[in-house]
Every structure is written in structure tokens, then in C-alpha cells.
A and B are shown apart, each in its own frame.
Chain A
Amino acid sequence: MSVLFDGLSLGAIYAMIALGYTMVYGIAKMLNFAHGDIIMVGAYAIYTTMVFWGKGLWVAVIGAAVLCTLMGILMEKLAYKPLRGASPLAVLITAIGVSYLLQSLAQLIFGVTPRPVNLGSFGSVEILGASIPVSTVLTLVIGAVLMAGLTLFVNKTNTGRAMQAVSEDRGAAQLMGVNVNFIIMITFAIGSALAAAASVFYLMQIPLVEPLLGSMPGIKAFTAAVIGGIGSIPGAMIGGVMLGVIEKICLSIDAIKDYTTAIEFGLLILILLVRPIGLLGKKRREKV
């Protein structure tokens, strides 16, 4: 029971990060490998506000959200916008470069030593006979709310519909009066804000900041996005939660726990073999 909850909350974190990957891919048609490092930026923002400036958790969370959002926009403007229309490979390499840049900057500013950060204690509650930390419950509830909100935003607002339109056909959307650059910027902003949320929940589970903090969750979340079908928002959520639960279940079984990471990536390979577009991916006919 407890394992399931741990898995769900880890899954919610993965899902939040995966949403960033999948939205950017769906709309800008690029893999933003620096997305994982945005989590690290958020974590260091929280660390700095709480430990250095002695501010409370809420200030730290808002600060992280603002910084990550700005960082996402800045990243898009400086690194990716000049490459609009360039070959996908060039954009991919740039994304990897941005990722290294962020990691190295964090190393230069904060050093490589992992530093502890305490978001405060929340205690635990009894749910169905298992003692579940409140932080886990918070992760699940807020994660669900954020994802529901995002789904509503994409489906019900004008900006959201414009995002869908850009995702379907960028050229046609532009002809219909959609400001593509603005939409892409919004996408980066939303993805990065979700990464900031993910960094808060990540620190609740693992209260330690380090420059490479974002890389593993980033890769796992990317895997989740691909499993769910990259480009698909519900797919990223399902993929993330699935991956989190599988990871926790594997880790709790002694016989296979050493192979957990292998099993997760094995699953990715399996899904790509059986259904290359992912669980909820859309088939797209290539125009000749």
C-alpha cells in the first residue's frame, strides 16, 4: 500500500516533468534536453531563498516558479529561437549544450558538494491502514490539480486552442493569425513552471540539492513521455505515473531491485518495439 503511494507520488513528479518534454515536443517539434536541468535551477532557487535568505517555503516556491519560468523563456529566446527552421539535429545538440551550460553554471556558483535543504516537516497520515507522509499526499493532490488545470487550459482557452493548432500544423496556424513565436514562448513558460513545481515535490522526497540533480529525473521523465506517446499530454501523465509506480514496486522486491533502472528502460524499448508512437501517440501520415 505504502509502496503504491510512494510510486504514485514519484510518478506525479515524473509526469510533471514529462509534460514539459511532451508539450515542447508537440508544439516546437524539438526535444528540450535542458528541461531536466530546469528542475535543478528550481531546486537551487528554493535552496538559496530558504537557506541563504532565510525566507519561508511559500516565498521559495513562488521564487522558484518565477525564476524557472523566466529561465524557460530566456532559454527559448536565446538558444532555440535563432535556430527555428534549422535541422532538428542542430536544435537537439543545442539543447544538450544548454543542459551542460546550466549544470556547469550551478557547479561554478554552488560547487559540487550536495547540500541539504529542509522544506519543513509535514508529518504523516493514516490512509487505508498505511502511514503515508503528508508530503506524498500533497504531491499527489497538487500534481493532479496542476494536470487537470493544464488539460482545461489547453482545451478550453483561446491560447490553449492556439497551442493545439500550432501543434497540428504550424504553417496553417500562422496563416490563421496565430502568433507562433508567442505560443512557443508560452509553451516553454508553462513547461518550466511545471518543472519548478516538480522541483518542490522532488525536494520534499529528497531534501538535497546538487548540480546534477535534474539529469536522472529528466531522463526518466523523458522516458515516461516517450512511453506515453511524445506530444500527447494525457500520454505524459499516464507514462509518468506508470513509470513511478513500476520503479517503486521493483525497488521493493528484493530479487529485482538491483535491476530497477534496467527494467524501466527495458520497458521503454519494449513499448517502442510494439507501438513506436507510444501508448497514446497520434499516428501522423508523412506528407510526401
Chain B
Amino acid sequence: MKKITKLLAVVLCFALIAAFAACAGKTNNESTAPDASDGASTPDATVNIGDFDFTKTGEFTAENTKFVLGATGPLTGDASSYGISVQKGATLAVEEINAKGGVNGKEIEFVMLDDEADATKAGNAYDQLFEQGMQISLGSVTSGSCEQFASRTAEDGVFAITPSASAANVIAASDTMFRICFGDPDQGVLAAEELTKNYSNIGAIYDNSDPYSSGIYDAFKAKMAELGTEYTEQTFDKENNKDFSTQVEALKDCDVIFMPIYYTQAGLIAKACQAKGVNAVLYGCDGFDGIKGQLEGADVSNKIMYITPFDAAAEDEKTKAFVDAFGGKYDGEIPDQFAADAYDAVYVLATAMEQIGVDNVTVAPDAIGEALVATLTSSSFQYTGVTGGMTWDSTGACTKVPVVVELN
């Protein structure tokens, strides 16, 4: 019995990791989010700063000497790689901003507490942060924690923008909860446009038993119908996700195959293509770079491209500067998507705060929160960071244009 319990524990641990990987890395379908429009968050062309009272001091913020930026995330435990990435990216951004004189002349203090990707711990960490004078926040790193975090921000009016918590419930739980990471449908739409433009014989394969895969595919399908592009569709499901010879056979004449799927299956499809001599371009979505490990030593010659919010090898100045600064601070480490999203999140907050001109470091969280919501949702606000150009709607969802990169 003891052995079975142990085994069960091991299996559960793995399941947990898988769950975190899924919820932190992937974005859920952003459908009808609940009505988030209160008076302040109605999108306006211009935000009237006079509407907000920044002299109001909060219960716990009276002693602040800097703006306090709070966040929680897994800094220990199984999902800690995500939390540590976010911590590194955000710390770098805060240091850069402070070195340049801070926001409206005032510095930012960044406090990140460990929640071990546990919702209850995230709730407690929120209370601790709030009592330490937190005025603005990056929310939590993982979706479960961030949902808990969001429900507290709804009570206190604290503005939070999460780099990575992608489940729809997170931003639905609070009017002041926003996010940086993008929604799956955006990738499907982009893929449909790009493929229609560049290829004539298009194929697509997706996992119809997986919400992430079907979420992207449904948007792709709708956009393809709108564009009037014909393509060949193939599916698989979790019962039959190993042997792809039949699907590859059906797609063998395609120039390109759109694959909104996880990298394990993508690797198997690539190898099936190689075995059958199919030379189509393999076109994946975020996280597709994981296919590299699957194809090590395999003789796959297909060109592999994928959509991603962040490409550390990109040539644009912003990305280069970020990758250099990150490597300089953390022993040559290359930033991942989480670090990049966190870096952008801090800059979005700083940019919005500069726009509203708040310079009172003892300002009450709800006062600054209301102003930030109004600023981010105003139609004139947009921010271009290392993860691309971004705008927000009143649900807190981010619209950004992903980039397409080629895997070497």
C-alpha cells in the first residue's frame, strides 16, 4: 500500500507539473469575458487625468518612499523556473527604470513573494504585499494563483498586469486584472493570413481532444473561411497521437502544414514526413521551439517555422538590447518568454504611470488603479516592447501581433 501511495504521489507530481506547464505556457480561449466596464474603464479617446485624485493616501501606503510593485510566483518547487524567469525579467526592468531616474522622478521598489504555484499561498502573499504598501502589481505567474490574486485585487482596487497567467478566469476575476501574454485565437488568425499569402497548397493538423490546439485551430479555420482559402484538414486525438503515417500521407502534397500542437507530436509528424519524403514547411505555434529536442540526431530536412510572442534571436534593437542587458545581469543567460513578458509588464506599468503623471509615492492603490485601467483601455494607449506591439481592451486581454520565426 505504501508503495502504491508513493507511486501515486510521483504520478500526481508529474501531473501537477504538466498542468502548470500547460496553464502558464498556453493561453486559453478568450471568449465572452464578463462585463468589466465600470465608469472609469470605458475606453475613451483621451483620459482626463483630472478625474483621479492622486493625493489620496492609502491605509498601508502612507510610509512608502517608493512606488511599491508587488508580485507572487513560484520561486521554489516544481514550477519555479517560470517564477524565477519572471522575477529576473521584472527585476531587470525595475533596475533600468530606476537607473534612469524612476517614474515621474520616483523610484519603484519590486517585491516578489514565493507562492509555490499554490493559490492559497498566493492569497496570503497578496495580503502580506498589500500590508507592505503595494500600489501596483504584476499579479501572479501561474493561472491558479493569479485567479486567487485577482479576486483580492477586485476587493482592494489594486491594478495588476500578469506576464503569464493565461487562463480566461484570471482576467475575468477582476476589473483591474490585465495580462501581457496573448490569446490563442490571435495565433490562428495570423497563421491563416500568413499561409494564405505565402503558400498555395496548405494543410493543417490539430489535436481535436485538446482545448489549446482546437482553440487555435478554430480561429484559423474561421479566418481561412473568411479569406476563402482552401486547405486540407487532418486531425488526431489523445488516443491516437503516436502514429501519423496516415495523416502525413493525406498531407503529402502540401507546401506547408499548419501544426497548432505540442512539440512531442510535432516531432513525430516531422519524422513521419521525413520517412515519407514529404518536404512541406512545418508551421507551428508558441512553444514550438521544443521540437528541437525531439529532432536531435534525426535527419529531418523540412523547414520549420513558428509563431512566438518573443524571439531572443530577433534582430530588432529592443530585443537585442534586452537580451544583452539580461545576459549581462545574469551570467549570459538567454531570456525566455516569461522573462520577456515580465520585462514588458513592468515597462507597460511605468509608461502608463508616466502618462498619468502620478508622482505621489503614498498614493492609494485604488486611486492609481482606476487611473491605470482608464489609461490602458483608452484607444490611444499602446506599447511596443520586446514581445511586440500591444493594446488592451476593457476585459484586460492583450492584443498583440506575434512574430513568425524560423528554427535553425
Residue A128 is within 8 A (CB to CB) of chain B in the complex? no
A127 to B250, CA, bound (A): 18
Given A116-B293, A206-B268: A252 and B246 interface contact (C-beta under 8 Å): yes
Partner of A124, one of B240, B243, B277, B294: B277
**Would you give the shortest CB distance from A215 to chain B, in whole angstroms?**
12
Given A107-B11, A133-B275: A208 and B242 interface contact (C-beta under 8 Å): yes
Interface residues of B in 221-268 (CB under 8 A from A): 237, 239-240, 242-243, 245-246, 249-250, 252, 264, 267-268
Asked if B249 contacts A252 (CB within 8 A), the reply is yes
Segment with Cβ contacts to B, from A2-10, A15-23, A186-194: A2-10
Asked if A6 contacts B271 (CB within 8 A), the reply is no
A75 to B242, CA, bound (A): 28
As a 0/1 sequence over residues 124 to 137 of chain A, the CB contacts with chain B under 8 angstroms (1 = contact) are 10000001010100
As a 0/1 sequence over residues 253 to 288 of chain A, the CB contacts with chain B under 8 angstroms (1 = contact) are 000011011000000000000000000000000000
Residue B298 is within 8 A (CB to CB) of chain A in the complex? yes
Asked if A124 contacts B276 (CB within 8 A), the reply is yes
Contact partners of B242 in chain A: CB under 8 A = 206, 208
Asked if A131 contacts B277 (CB within 8 A), the reply is yes
Contact partners of B264 in chain A: CB under 8 A = 114, 116, 208
A206 nearest CB neighbor, chain B only: B242
Residue A104 is within 8 A (CB to CB) of chain B in the complex? yes
Asked if B239 contacts A261 (CB within 8 A), the reply is yes
Residue B7 is within 8 A (CB to CB) of chain A in the complex? yes
Residue A251 is within 8 A (CB to CB) of chain B in the complex? yes
Residue A112 is within 8 A (CB to CB) of chain B in the complex? yes
Contact partners of A206 in chain B: CB under 8 A = 242-243, 268
Contact partners of A114 in chain B: CB under 8 A = 264
Asked if B275 contacts A122 (CB within 8 A), the reply is yes
Asked if B250 contacts A252 (CB within 8 A), the reply is yes
As a 0/1 sequence over residues 113 to 127 of chain A, the CB contacts with chain B under 8 angstroms (1 = contact) are 110101011111000
Asked if A121 contacts B298 (CB within 8 A), the reply is yes
Residue B403 is within 8 A (CB to CB) of chain A in the complex? no
A252 to B298, CA, bound (A): 26
Partner of B240, one of A104, A107, A133, A251: A251
Asked if B245 contacts A207 (CB within 8 A), the reply is no
Asked if A121 contacts B11 (CB within 8 A), the reply is no
A66 to B295, CA, bound (A): 28
Residue B64 is within 8 A (CB to CB) of chain A in the complex? no
A17 to B292, CA, bound (A): 32
Asked if B14 contacts A112 (CB within 8 A), the reply is yes
Asked if A121 contacts B299 (CB within 8 A), the reply is yes
Residue A78 is within 8 A (CB to CB) of chain B in the complex? no
**Would you give the shortest CB distance from A47 to chain B, in whole angstroms?**
12
Given A10-B243, A104-B7, A116-B267: A121 and B274 interface contact (C-beta under 8 Å): yes
Given A116-B294, A206-B268: A2 and B249 interface contact (C-beta under 8 Å): yes
Contact partners of A118 in chain B: CB under 8 A = 271, 296-299
19 contacts between A and B (CB under 8 A): A3-B249, A6-B249, A10-B243, A108-B10, A116-B267, A116-B294, A116-B295, A118-B271, A118-B297, A124-B276, A131-B252, A131-B276, A133-B276, A205-B243, A208-B242, A208-B264, A248-B245, A251-B246, A260-B240
